[in-house]
Each structure stands twice: as structure tokens, then as C-alpha cells.
């Protein structure tokens, strides 16, 4: 994990120069020790919080006119809440370490031109009531605060999570070490999603070369010249996703019984291969080490010159593994006996299969609500139906 430093804009530097206690934390701008009255007309100190807009790790102007406040509802000198700025008083978890108590909303006719204008305006609306009562109180303490730069696996700030106010939710999987076995079609789409999460490490396992047919069932686009490099799939995808995520590790071999130990340190594994016999070996090994995993499969048949497709997602979690051995997954390598060993693959089917697996993974860790608790599902495309089975109790 690396410390990620954000280059501050001149307006934020000016806030510091004016003596405000400015702190940059979890992609938010905080100003601490702001004096305010509570309902009992007591003077307390709170913290003003604004989401930061960031591009190329540089703070840029934002159109967002709202801020959050940590503390009691600020009041005037008579103990009356400042309803002219308080939008709501619903507690909100902005990150794992920032929990706001109120949302403020006050927009000038022409908006705020920068963070200095925005934050100083809100501060004045709160502090003026205290200063009129006792001029010795001020938010300008001139106390130097060191920024708490985030430890992150990314090369640049995840502003999407901050913008949507879901960083604390996404951080539930921060620090995990993920394995992806097989990077044909589905595995590559799984990687595409996992690379956009704050997991600590992503380990790629595949012994194949990235070939021309792979380009037509994988995320993104590959140039003609890149196809001529004859790179292993793991190397190709590391080149792509290391632009965003630092912790991508390659293992350019097929997972077999003699190298299973490379899976030992992983927290979660995605399996996207069509060889049944080695799947059985991998399943038994992961179960023996209490490692959770999801196996994926696509079955496509050409019937009367049109395609019929089924997409399978099967999870194996600690204390919920018995269903896996009840003919949910075929361990046969013969295409005639294993529907999901069919070699017909299309990018839309691969991406759906990957997304079902990602959603199941995120539900397990509490990022999404899970009311079904299914461990095995089949999506039949012809009738647009999902069948859920093997429910966790």
C-alpha cells in the first residue's frame, strides 16, 4: 500500500494561511475547531466537511454547494437551530473515519467560486453568532494540522466513491487479497471490476497467450500492434490494469496440483476455467484452507441457427460448502457431458457472468443487501429467468 498525496489548490492553501485548521482526509476537506452554540446556548466546537473534486490527484473547483457538519446542530445565541443552512440532520458515514451529523445547504446566486469562498462563507454563518457574543472565539486558530494521506492501492484518487458518498461502503473490502484463476473472457471482466475496488492485491493465474480471438470477448480494445507482442494473458492484463491499480501480480502458469500453494495467502478466489478435473482439485484445496471462492460458467449451444445460453454462478463460503458437491458444478472435461465446457463465448455473456460473480462477492462482504442468500444461481437467457438455489441460513 502506498501513501497518496493530493496536490492542494491555491484556495485551500489560502484557508490554511488564514489560520483555519485544515485537514485533508479520505478525499474530503475538513476544517476543525469551529465554535458554535448548541440548543443550551453552550459554546462547542465542530468540524465542517466538504467532498473534494480531484483530477490527476489535483484539487479542482467543484459545483457542489453543500457541506457536512460534525457536531450538534449549530444554533444562534438564543439556542435556535440555524435552519437557513441545515438541510437535514441524518447521520452519514462518509468514510471509515468520517461520520457527519448534519448536511448544510446554502447556495449563493452565482454559486461558490472555489473552496475558500465556500468554506469561509459557511464558517461565517456559524461562527458569527459566537463572535458577536464573545469575540475571543474564532475558527482561525493558526494551529498546524498534518494531512492524513490515505493508504491506497490506486495510482489516483477514487473520486467516484467520494462523489457518491459510498467510500465507507466500498472500503469493506479494502485490504483483501484476491485471486483470479483463468483470464479467458469471464475472468478478464472480473478483473476489470476488481481493479476498480480498494482490494490490496490482485493475483492473476493463467498460462495462455493473449490471442486475437481473446480480443473479441474481453473488456476494452487491443490494437493490431499489441496483438503481435504475443504476451501471456497475465502480462497483458497487468499492463492494462496497473495503470489504475498498484497491487496486480502475475502468475503465468496454469494452476495445477503442484503449484496450489500459490493460493495459500489469498482471501478470496474467482475461478473462470472450463477444465473440470482441475476445478475439483482447486475446490478441495481452497476448502481445506477456509478460503472463500466463486466458480463461474457459461453454457452456449447453437440450436436452429440461434444461440441458447445459460450462465452459472456458484459460491463456496466458510460453513456453506456442501452444495458444491451436489452436481452444481461439472468436474468432467468432456464437452459432450459438460454443458459449461462449450467454447462458444461472447463478450456480453462473459461480462454478465463476471458481474453476477462480482455482485455475489460484494453481497457477501456487505456492500450490497443480500435478501436471497443464494449460493448457486442459473440465468437462462432464452426465458430471461434467474433460478436461485442453495440458500444460506
Tell me the per-residue pLDDT of 35-76, one tens digit each, with 9 for 90 and over: 999 999 999 999 999 999 988 888 888 889 999 999 999 999
Name the more confident of 274 and 269. Answer: 269
What would the pLDDT profile of 158-175 be if each residue is shown by its tens digit?
A: 888 988 889 999 999 999
What pLDDT does 198 receive? 95
Statement: residue 340 has pLDDT above 50: no
Instruction: Tell me the mean pLDDT in the region 347-376.
Output: 96
Statement: residue 3 has pLDDT above 80: no
What would the pLDDT profile of 237-265 be if each residue is shown by its tens digit?
A: 999 999 999 999 999 999 999 999 999 99
Please list, in sequence order, all residues whose beta carbon lies within 8 angstroms of the beta carbon of residue 72, skipping any fewer than 6 positions away. 36, 38, 39, 44, 46, 101
Mean residue pLDDT of the chain comes to: 92
Alpha-carbon distance of 38 to 80, in angstroms, equals 8
What would the pLDDT profile of 170-189 be if each residue is shown by its tens digit?
A: 999 999 999 999 998 899 99
**Which of helix, strand or coil describes residue 54?**
strand
> For the whole model, what pTM was predicted?
0.82
Catalogue all structural domains in the chain, each as residue range(s) with its CATH number.
2-155 (no CATH), 175-391 (3.40.50.720)
What pLDDT does 202 receive? 98
C-alpha cell at 88: 437535514
Statement: residue 1 has pLDDT above 50: no
The phi-psi region of residue 64 (left if phi > 0; otherwise alpha if psi is between -120 and 50; otherwise beta) is: beta
Instruction: Tell me the mean pLDDT in the region 308-327.
Output: 92
What pLDDT does 334 receive? 56
Amino acid at each position: 500500500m502506498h501513501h497518496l498525496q493530493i496536490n492542494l489548490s491555491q484556495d485551500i492553501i489560502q484557508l490554511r494561511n488564514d489560520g483555519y485548521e485544515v485537514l485533508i482526509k479520505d478525499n474530503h476537506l475538513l476544517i476543525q475547531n469551529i465554535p458554535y452554540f448548541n440548543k443550551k446556548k453552550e459554546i462547542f466546537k465542530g468540524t465542517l466537511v466538504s467532498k473534494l473534486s480531484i483530477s490527476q490527484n489535483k484539487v479542482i473547483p467543484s459545483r457542489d454547494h453543500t457541506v457536512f457538519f460534525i457536531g450538534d446542530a449549530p444554533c444562534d445565541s438564543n439556542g435556535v437551530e440555524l435552519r437557513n443552512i441545515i438541510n437535514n440532520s441524518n447521520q452519514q458515514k462518509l468514510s471509515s473515519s468520517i461520520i457527519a451529523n448534519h448536511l448544510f445547504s446554502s447556495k449563493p446566486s452565482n454559486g461558490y467560486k472555489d473552496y475558500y469562498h465556500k468554506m469561509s462563507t459557511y464558517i461565517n454563518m456559524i461562527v458569527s453568532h459566537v463572535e458577536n457574543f464573545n469575540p475571543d472565539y474564532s475558527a482561525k486558530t493558526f494551529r498546524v494540522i498534518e494531512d492524513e494521506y490515505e493508504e491506497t492501492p490506486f495510482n489516483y484518487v477514487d473520486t467516484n466513491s467520494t462523489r457518491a458518498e459510498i467510500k465507507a461502503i466500498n472500503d469493506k473490502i479494502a485490504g483483501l487479497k484476491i485471486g483470479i484463476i483463468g483470464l479467458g473472457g469471464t475472468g478478464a471482466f472480473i478483473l476489470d471490476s476488481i481493479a476498480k475496488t480498494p482490494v490490496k492485491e490482485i493475483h492473476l493465474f493463467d498460462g495462455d497467450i493473449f490471442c486475437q480471438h481473446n480480443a473479441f470477448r474481453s473488456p476494452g480494445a487491443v490494437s493490431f500492434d499489441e496483438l503481435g507482442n504475443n504476451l501471456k494473458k497475465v502480462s497483458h492484463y497487468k499492463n492494462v490494469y496497473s495503470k489504475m491499480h498498484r497491487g496486480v501480480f502475475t502468475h503465468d502458469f496454469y494452476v495445477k496440483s503442484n503449484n496450489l500453494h500459490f493460493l495459500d495467502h489469498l482471501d478470496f478466489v474467482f475461478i473462470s476455467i472450463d477444465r473440470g478435473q482441475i476445478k475439483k482439485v482447486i475446490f478441495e484445496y481452497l476448502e481445506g484452507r477456509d478460503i472463500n471462492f466463486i466458480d463461474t460458467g457459461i453454457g452456449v449451444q447453437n440450436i436452429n441457427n440461434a444461440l441458447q445460453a445459460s450462465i452459472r454462478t456458484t459460491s463456496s463460503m466458510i460453513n456453506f460448502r456442501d452444495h458444491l458437491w451436489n452436481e452444481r458444478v461439472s468436474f468432467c472435461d468432456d464437452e459432450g457431458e459438460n454443458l459449461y465446457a462449450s467454447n462458444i463465448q461472447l463478450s456480453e455473456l462473459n461480462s454478465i457472468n463476471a458481474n453476477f460473480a462480482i455482485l455475489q462477492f460484494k453481497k457477501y462482504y456487505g456492500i450490497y443487501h443480500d435478501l436471497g442468500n443464494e449460493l448457486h444461481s442459473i440465468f437462462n437467457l432464452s426465458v430471461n429467468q434467474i433460478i436461485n438455489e442453495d440458500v444460506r441460513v
